[in-house]
Structure 1
Amino acid sequence: MFKLAHNGNILMDVKSASPPSAAFIIEALEKSQFADCEVDHDSIDAYFKSDFPESQLVVAKQYDAEFTVTLSDDKMQAFGQLKTARGGKTIALEEAKKVIIKAGVSRGYKQAYLEKILSKQFELPPGEEASGIIAQGRPPQDGQSAKLLPHVQTLKERLKQPRMREDGTVDMRDFGKLASVSPGDLLVTQRPATPGKEGFTVTGESIEAKAGESFQLMAGEGTEINPSNPLELIATIAGCPSDIGNGMRVDDVFTIADVTVKSGHVDFNGSVVVTHNVEPGMRVTAKGDITILGTVESGELVAGGNIEVKGGVIGHVDHQNNEQGLTCKLSAKGNVEIAHGQYTYLEGENIFINKQSNHCDIKAQRLVQVGTGEHPNGKLIGGSIIDAQMIVAGEIGSGSGAKMMIYLARKGIQITEDTDTLFKEVAATNESLDQLQQAIEKAELVKDTEKKQQLKTKIGATQMHYCQQAEQLEKQLYQLDHDLHELLEDTKLSANKALHSGVEIHIFDRVYKTTRSYPPCTASLQDNQVKIDFKTAGN
């Protein structure tokens, strides 16, 4: 009844016996060997409508299985799409592989993925589609940054672990015996940065990995790089280890209960720990860190490292001083951290005040932060910020509108003064070069050849000197311009709860005076003006 033509059509001989209906043809097809072929309903319908039907009727068409490959936009995945055969041939594994190769897939291919898709030919009905991943690229794995692995407990870590009393309470003034090391002890090991592992696309292109950041292991005072292992830092003296940037140092540590008139002032080459208080009029000076577990009242602390006061620092206006200075002063080359401050002068790289600052004069190289956590909410009331690059607090100023002066990026003024000086030097250098050019022109008029050459050689050497000087001045000008831009870009005041009236904000050489209280906001230099930007919810 049915036969297969060379073009895949399924033909029915209707010349000898005309079928009674389309339903009859379809039912006969379903019982024949061509049951899986795609029925050509249009051809069958046309036959029954035609006045002059053909002698052979196309009733169905045979289709082989189809397999195609597509790539993701980033070429990190290749997908195989299968359409099962409709009476035709299934697609063999080797044929499918050729399609994959033709699509440009060269890496990340797994035959198990392909076999899983092709197996659907024997599970799905004819003409159904199936798809799946046949190749997977590999994203690059960035390298790990270098890291310090400490082998000893530092003073700072020790002070985070107060001792437990027998009754279960914590003695916040007792931190046990000071950690100490001996010469030759291993302090810290540097885990080197790793280069990362490159990735690849399914088409074989390599994706470069980002290498981990590295740094130079730093040997502070009392330490050295291990001569037999450049990744190890060892102690050279007995003492207490302290963290420094990318390394450690070892200090002799002086510990005292109270600094009083009885003890006298403390002046020590290493670090100092005061387990109780510093009384009025007393001074503590240390080349290393100063740690006060109690309070400081009208005292003076000067540290070559960091200063940390677990309690408050309290002073008052010194009326005996014509400048009306403050009686309590803390100055550190590193950071200063206190619980709260009142009428105190604070100076350091960064100033951290955990709760509140009342009428303090503060000078920081970088950050003044009042409050703790990711969104500090401490109060910065009265006093003045003599200089800083960034201020972060909950409230700045007071609700009464009392005047408060804040100076940010004052070092920018010095940069501009240095720039002006350099411009004058550049002008003078250029003038000297012009004069030397005139001298060369005059030398050309000298008739004596030998004398002319001597003059030109001498002038040329001087010209070379001034050219090098001009080049050096240009480099210095570029650096100053870069420093100023970087300084101003990072300068900002941030009030997480309120910025009150009466606050006079100086950023570089621009001024903004608050005349009302603002909700959470920031102040920064934009378009050469101090502008206030209000924070949105969640920021």
Structure 2
Amino acid sequence: MFKLAHNGNVLLDVSKHPPPSATFVIEAIEMSKFCDCKIDYDAINAFFKDKSTEPVLVVATKHNAKLEVVISDDKMMATGELTVAQGGDLLSLDDAKKQLVKAGIVRGYKQAYLEQLLQKQFTAKAGEVVQGILAQGRLPSDGLATKLVTKVRTLKDHLKTPKLKEDGSVDMRDFGKMASVEPGAVLIRQQPATPGKEGFTVLGDILPAKPGDNKQLVAGEGTEISKLNPLELVSTISGVPIEITNGMRVDDIFTIPDVNVKSGHIDFEGSVIVTRNIDPGMKVTAKGDITIFGTVESGELTAGGNITVKQGVIGHQKSDDKSLSCKLICEGDIHVSHSQYCYIEAANIFIERQTSHCIMKARHALKVGQPDLPKGKIFGGEILDATTLIAGEIGNESGAKMVINLARSGADITAETDECFKELAKTEQQLDSLQPALEKADLLKDPEKKNELISKIGATQLHLCQQAEHYERQLSSLENNLHELLTKANLVVNTVLHSGVEIHIFDKALKTTRNYPPCTIKLMNNKVEVEFKTS
């Protein structure tokens, strides 16, 4: 009844025995060996509707299976859309691979993906479109940063672990035996940064990985990079290990119970540990760290490293010049429990509970309260400078005056910028003045003198040009430094900001005339703005 033509069409001869209806023809095809072919319903229905006189009717078409490869926009995935054969041939594995090559797939291909898709030909209906992943790209894996693994117990670790008493309580003045090392002890072992693993797209494009940040191991005083293993930092002397940025130093330690009239002032090249207290009027100076397990009362501490006072620092206002009797100044960080009537200056200042009537200056951060969410109190006194100030309560209910200065060092940057502009203008003026001299030299008739003078002027021009470039680079650096400082400058209040607090950020000011709930205060749109916390 039906005949397959060379072009894949299924034909029905209607010249001798016209079929009674379209339904009859369709049902006949579905019961024939051409049942999987694509039936042309439109052609069949049109034949009966238009009462065509054509002797042959195309009722169906044979189609081989075909595969279309679709590549995602980001080129990270190739998906196959397989149209199942309709009376035609199944798609072979080799032919399917040719389609992948034609589509440009070169990486991330797995034959198992393709085989799984081709297997669906045996279960899906004729003409059905089935899909499956054919290839997947790989995102780059960034490298790991250098890791510095501490191999010894440091002074900082020691101060975190007070001695446990028999009754289960802790003695906040007894921290047990001091951590110490001998020459040759491994202090830090460096795990180098890794380069990462590059990624790729299915089309073979390379996606570079970001290498991990590389840190150089820093050998502080009393240490050296091991001659046997350049990834290890070892001690060269006996002493107490103290952490520094990306490294460690080992200090000689001077330990004394109390600093009083009997002991006299302390001035030591290494680090000093006072197991009890500093009496009024006494001074301790150390090239390294100063650690006080007790209190400091009207004393003066000066350190090249950090200062840690486990209890409080307490002073008073002198009657003669109104200065404060207690001073703590160091190059590193200061950690105290609480402070009153003290002058405190450091890179960072950390106060556990509260500070009152103190004058403080931090090059970076000043935090009052516990590290996770500082909620300590600040009232009275003045903050001379800091970049970030975080506390719970600032000021007091009486509205007593308090002054806070943030990003005050910006004035120094501005002054340096002005001076740099002056030097640049002076240099450019000198350059301009050389042009007439050069023109005058060019008029000389003596070739030897002419060349000599032009050479000297040229050397001066080169020097001045290099000088001008130096000032321009310096101006750019200063501009960036000021921008970064002002961006970071902010005051964070976690509980309440009282009235009567005068806040200066760089050259702008805000004075509170009421109480504020938790908020952040920073410089925005060239003025001091308050942002209230929503959670």
TM range (shorter): over 0.9
Bigger drift between 204-213 and 9-18 goes to: 9-18
Is 1:217 aligned to 2:254, yes or no?
A: no
Instruction: Show CA shifts across 1:133-190 (max 9, x none).
Output: 1111111111111111222111111222233333433333332211211112221122
Distance 2:271 2:200 in 1: 53
Name the residue aligned to 2:91: 91
Name the residue aligned to 1:164: 164
Partner amino acid, structure 1, of 2:259:
V
Distance 2:111 2:379 in 1: 71
Cα distance change on mapping 1:211 and 1:51 into 2, 3 Å:
closer
Cα-Cα RMSD: 2.5
Distance 1:236 1:267 in 2: 23
TM-score, structure 1 length as denominator? 0.91
Distance 1:451 1:121 in 2: 95
Which residues in structure 2 correspond to 1:76-225 (within 5 Å)?
76-225=76-225
Partner amino acid, structure 2, of 1:134:
L
Distance 1:107 1:421 in 2: 59
Is 1:31 aligned to 2:15, yes or no?
A: no
Name the residue aligned to 2:421: 423
> Which residue of 502, 511, 514 maps to 1:513?
511
TM-score, structure 2 length as denominator? 0.92
Partner amino acid, structure 2, of 1:350:
N
For the 8 Å contact 1:523–1:530, the answer to whether it is kept is: no
Q: Secondary structure at the match of 1:337?
A: strand
Partner amino acid, structure 2, of 1:283:
K
Distance 1:54 1:435 in 2: 102
For the 8 Å contact 1:258–1:274, the answer to whether it is kept is: yes
Name the residue aligned to 1:392: 390
Which residues in structure 2 correspond to 1:296-307 (within 5 Å)?
296-307=296-307
Distance 1:292 1:76 in 2: 60
Distance 1:315 1:500 in 2: 25
- Give the drift of 1:447: 6.6
Bigger drift between 335-344 and 23-32 goes to: 23-32
Distance 1:377 1:97 in 2: 66
For the 8 Å contact 1:519–1:534, the answer to whether it is kept is: no
Instruction: Show CA shifts across 1:463-513 (max 9, x none).
Output: 555444444444433333333233223222222333332222222223222
> Which residue of 517, 532, 535 maps to 2:532?
535
For the 8 Å contact 2:523–2:529, the answer to whether it is kept is: no
Distance 2:449 2:3 in 1: 114
Cα distance change on mapping 1:363 and 1:66 into 2, 3 Å:
same
Cα distance change on mapping 1:442 and 1:59 into 2, 3 Å:
closer
Distance 1:449 1:86 in 2: 96
Distance 1:36 1:153 in 2: 79
- Give the drift of 1:109: 0.6
Cα distance change on mapping 1:502 and 1:91 into 2, 3 Å:
same
Name the residue aligned to 2:483: 485
Name the residue aligned to 1:246: 246
Distance 1:345 1:196 in 2: 48
For the 8 Å contact 2:295–2:311, the answer to whether it is kept is: yes
Bigger drift between 115-124 and 129-138 goes to: 129-138
Distance 1:20 1:431 in 2: 107
Name the residue aligned to 1:326: 324
> Which residue of 409, 418, 425 maps to 2:407?
409
Distance 1:207 1:449 in 2: 61
- Give the drift of 1:461: 5.2
For the 8 Å contact 2:259–2:282, the answer to whether it is kept is: yes
Distance 1:125 1:468 in 2: 79
Name the residue aligned to 1:256: 256
Distance 1:433 1:127 in 2: 82
> Which residue of 374, 377, 392 maps to 2:375?
377
- Give the drift of 1:119: 0.2
Partner amino acid, structure 1, of 2:527:
V
- Give the drift of 1:391: 1.4
Instruction: Show CA shifts across 1:106-128 (max 9, x none).
Output: 11111010000000001122222
Distance 1:303 1:19 in 2: 109
For the 8 Å contact 2:509–2:528, the answer to whether it is kept is: no
Partner amino acid, structure 2, of 1:414:
D
Partner amino acid, structure 1, of 2:531:
F
Distance 2:237 2:440 in 1: 68
- Give the drift of 1:38: 2.9
For the 8 Å contact 1:394–1:497, the answer to whether it is kept is: yes
- Give the drift of 1:382: 1.8
For the 8 Å contact 1:391–1:492, the answer to whether it is kept is: yes
Distance 1:51 1:453 in 2: 107
For the 8 Å contact 1:316–1:342, the answer to whether it is kept is: yes
Distance 1:253 1:454 in 2: 65
Instruction: Show CA shifts across 1:421-455 (max 9, x none).
Output: 33333444444445555555555666766666666
- Give the drift of 1:31: 2.5
Bigger drift between 226-235 and 190-199 goes to: 226-235
**Structure 1 residue ranges without an equivalent (≥5):** none
- Give the drift of 1:339: 2.0
**Structure 2 residue ranges without an equivalent (≥5):** none
Distance 2:61 2:461 in 1: 93
